[in-house]
C-alpha cells in the first residue's frame, strides 16, 4: 500500500499540464520511479499504487518515456510495433488484475487497474472502439460493488454508447455482457422489470454467440431466476435455477473429462501450477480461467442456499447432489484435493450413474497420485 519511493512535487516543467492518473485533475506530483505517471494528491497516488501502479510502473516507463530519435523509417516502424505490442499485453494484464480485484471484492483496488487498461486501450484502439468495453465493464462492476450506482451507470452508458456506434456490428458476446451488467445495476436499483428486459437481451445475444446450452448463457438465466425470486415468482425461479444447475453441471463434467484425460500426467509428475501466471490461465483449455471459476463458485453457492431453504423432496435431493458434484469438480480442477473429498461426502445418494462414474474416476486419480508421490519420495530418499 505505502509508496516507498520519494515523491518530487512539481518536479516536471510547469508548462506541461499533466493530469492525475486517477481523477484527471491537474497533477502536482509524479511517480519518482517511472517519471511518466502523475497525481493530484498523495491519496490518489496511494490508490493507484495499491491497485495497479506498482505492478506496471517499469513497463509504463518504457512505453511512455520520450523515445530517442531514430533516423531510419524502418527502425521507427519496428519500435512503434514493439511499443504497440507492449501496450496490448499491458491492456490484458491490467484488465485481468482489475477483474481479479473485483472477484476478491477489492473494489477500491479494481478501479485504478481498470482505469489503466481503459487508458491504454484508448491509446491503442481510439476512443470509440469496442475494445474499450471490457474495461468499462470492470469499472462498472467495481462501482456497483462500492454501491456507487450513478458512477456505475456512467460507465455502462459509455459501454452502451460504444455498442450503438458500431451499428449492429458489435459482437453479441460483448452486447450480452453489457446487458448483463445493466441488469445488475437495475437489480441494485430495485427496478426488476427493467432488469428482466436487459436479461432477455443478454440471453438472446449470448445464445446467438455461444449456443443455447452453453455455460456462458447460464449467467443470464441465473440472474433472471434471482429477479423472479425478488418479484416473488418462485415457480419461475425454480425452473430457471434447475436449468442453470444443469448447464454448469454439463460444463464442469466436460472439463473434468478433458482434464483427467489430458493433464493427469503433469499433475502426477508434480508439475506445479503458478496461479500468478495469467497467460497459462487463459490459454489452457482444460483449465478454468479465473473469471469462470469465480462465477461458478458464486452461482453454485447461491443455488445451494436456495435448495437448502426450499422444500425437501426427491427433486431437491437430486439438485443438491448435482450442485455438490459441481463443487467437487471445481475443487478438483483447482487441485484442492482436501475440499474435493469434503464436498464428495455431501453427496448423499449416488444413484445417478454419471455422478458415480465421475467420482470413481476422481478417486482413482487421487489414489494414483498418492501412490506416485509416495514412490517419488522413496526414490528421492534412496538417491
Ligand atoms: Zn486525482
Ligand atoms: Zn511509476
Distance CA 257, CA 333 (A): 11
pLDDT of residue 149: 97
- Would you give the DSSP letter of residue 66? P
Strand, helix or coil for residue 79: helix
Ligand nearest to the CA of 44: 1
Ligand 1 center from residue 51 Cα (angstroms): 14
Query: Confidence class of residue 290 from pLDDT cuts 50, 70 and 90?
Result: confident
What pLDDT does residue 280 have? Answer: 41
- Asked if 336 contacts 314 with a C-beta cutoff of 8 angstroms, the reply is no
pLDDT of residue 291: 82
- Poorest-confidence range of 194-208, 272-286, 306-320? 272-286
Instruction: Find the helix packing angle between 133-145 and 172-188, rounded to 10°.
Output: 20
Give dist(CA 126, CA 379) in Å, integer: 59
Whole-angstrom CA distances from 340 to 223, 316, 327, 334, 363 are 27, 22, 8, 9, 10
Q: How many CB atoms lie within 10 A of CB 189?
A: 13
CA dist 86 and 68 (Å) reads 18
Distance 276 CA to ligand 1 centre (A): 29
Q: How far is the CA of 18 from the centre of ligand 2 (A)?
A: 14
Residue range 243-261: mean pLDDT, rounded: 88
Task: Give me the mean pLDDT over the 29-47 stretch.
Answer: 94
Least confident of 267-271, 315-319, 340-344: 267-271
Q: Report, as an integer, the average pLDDT of 66-85.
A: 87
Nearest ligand, measured from the Cα of 29: 1
CA distance 51 to 97: 8
The whole-number average pLDDT for the span 76-94 is 93
Calculate how far, in angstroms, residue 379's C-alpha sits from the geometric centre of ligand 1. 59
- Among left, alpha and beta (phi > 0; psi -120 to 50; other), residue 2 is beta
From the CA of 41, which ligand is nearest?
1
Radius of gyration, CA atoms only, the chain: 24
Ligand 2 mean position, distance from CA 29 (Å) = 11
> Which pLDDT score is estimated for 273?
47
pLDDT tens digits for range 176-221? 999 999 999 999 999 999 999 999 999 999 999 999 999 999 999 9
Find the mean pLDDT for residues 18-43: 93
- Give this prediction's pTM: 0.82
Q: How far is residue 24 CA from its own chain's centroid?
A: 26
What pLDDT band is residue 37 in, cutting at 50, 70 and 90? very high
d(CA 27, CA 120): 19
Nearest ligand to the CA atom of 19: 1
30 Cα: distance to centroid of ligand 1 (angstroms): 12
Backbone torsions φ then ψ of 30, nearest 5 degrees:
-140, 145
More confident residue, 276 or 47: 47
| Interatomic CA distance for residues 358 and 350, integer angstroms | 11
Please report which confidence band the pLDDT of residue 274 belongs to, taking 50, 70 and 90 as the band edges: very low
Q: Where are the alpha helices (DSSP H) in 13-132?
A: 42-48, 54-64, 73-103, 107-125
Under 8 Å between Cβ of 286 and 258: yes
Residue 269's SS3 state is: coil
Q: What percent of the chain has pLDDT over 90?
A: 61
Decide: 135 and 95 in contact? Cβ < 8 Å. Answer: yes
- Is the distance from CB of 326 to CB of 311 less than 8 angstroms? no
Output the pLDDT for position 145.
97
Residue 334 to residues 102, 276, 361, 363: CA-CA distances in angstroms?
19, 13, 16, 15
* 160 CA → ligand 1 middle, Å: 26
Question: What is the Å distance from ligand 2's center to 251 Cα?
Answer: 42
Ligand nearest to the CA of 56: 2
What distance in angstroms lies between residue 57's CA and the mean position of ligand 2's atoms?
4
State residue 11's pLDDT score.
46
Separation of CA 27 and ligand 2 centre (Å): 14
Cβ contacts of 264 within 8 Å, gap of 6 or more: 365, 368
How many whole angstroms from 30 Cα to the centroid of ligand 2?
Answer: 8
Mean pLDDT, rounded, for 102-125: 94
Taking the centre of ligand 2 as the mean of its atom positions, its distance from the CA of residue 339, in whole angstroms, is: 40
Mean pLDDT estimate for the chain: 87
Amino acid at each position: 500500500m505505502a509508496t516507498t519511493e520519494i515523491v518530487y512535487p512539481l518536479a516536471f516543467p510547469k508548462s506541461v499540464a499533466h493530469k492525475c492518473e486517477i481523477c484527471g485533475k491537474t497533477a502536482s506530483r509524479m511517480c519518482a520511479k517511472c517519471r511518466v505517471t502523475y497525481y493530484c494528491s498523495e491519496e490518489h497516488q496511494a490508490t493507484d499504487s495499491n491497485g495497479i501502479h506498482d505492478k506496471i510502473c517499469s513497463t509504463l516507463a518504457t512505453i511512455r518515456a520520450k523515445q530517442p530519435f531514430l533516423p531510419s523509417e524502418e527502425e521507427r516502424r519496428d519500435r512503434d510495433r514493439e511499443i504497440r505490442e507492449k501496450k496490448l499485453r499491458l491492456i490484458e494484464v491490467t484488465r485481468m488484475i482489475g477483474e481479479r480485484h473485483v472477484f476478491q471484492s477489492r473494489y477500491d483496488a479494481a478501479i485504478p487497474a481498470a482505469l489503466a487498461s481503459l487508458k491504454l486501450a484508448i491509446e491503442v484502439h481510439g476512443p470509440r472502439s469496442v475494445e474499450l468495453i471490457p474495461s468499462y465493464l470492470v469499472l462498472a462492476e467495481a462501482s456497483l460493488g462500492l454501491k456507487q450506482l450513478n458512477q456505475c451507470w456512467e460507465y455502462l452508458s459509455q459501454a452502451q454508447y460504444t455498442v450503438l456506434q458500431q451499428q449492429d456490428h458489435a459482437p453479441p458476446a460483448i452486447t450480452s455482457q453489457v446487458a448483463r451488467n445493466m441488469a445488475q445495476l437495475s437489480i441494485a436499483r430495485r427496478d426488476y422489470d427493467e432488469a428482466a428486459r436487459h436479461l432477455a437481451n443478454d440471453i438472446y445475444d449470448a445464445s446467438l454467440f455461444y449456443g443455447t446450452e452453453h455455460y456462458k448463457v447460464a449467467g443470464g438465466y441465473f440472474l433472471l431466476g434471482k429477479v423472479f425470486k425478488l418479484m416473488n415468482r418462485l415457480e419461475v425461479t425454480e425452473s430457471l435455477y434447475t436449468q442453470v444447475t444443469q448447464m454448469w453441471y454439463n460444463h464442469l463434467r466436460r472439463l473434468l473429462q478433458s482434464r483427467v484425460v489430458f493433464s493427469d500426467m503433469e499433475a502426477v509428475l508434480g508439475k506445479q501450477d503458478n496461479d500468478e501466471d495469467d497467460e497459462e490461465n487463459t490459454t489452457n483449455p482444460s483449465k478454468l480461467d479465473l473469471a469462470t471459476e469465480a462465477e461458478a463458485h458464486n452461482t453454485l453457492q447461491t443455488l445451494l442456499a436456495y435448495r437448502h431453504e426450499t422444500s425437501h423432496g426427491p427433486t431437491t435431493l437430486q439438485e443438491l447432489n448435482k450442485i455438490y458434484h459441481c463443487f467437487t469438480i471445481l475443487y478438483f480442477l483447482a487441485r484442492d484435493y482436501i475440499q474435493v473429498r469434503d464436498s464428495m461426502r455431501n453427496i448423499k445418494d449416488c444413484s445417478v450413474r454419471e455422478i458415480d462414474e465421475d467420482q470413481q474416476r476422481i478417486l482413482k486419480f487421487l489414489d494414483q497420485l498418492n501412490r506416485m508421490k509416495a514412490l517419488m519420495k522413496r526414490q528421492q530418499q534412496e538417491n
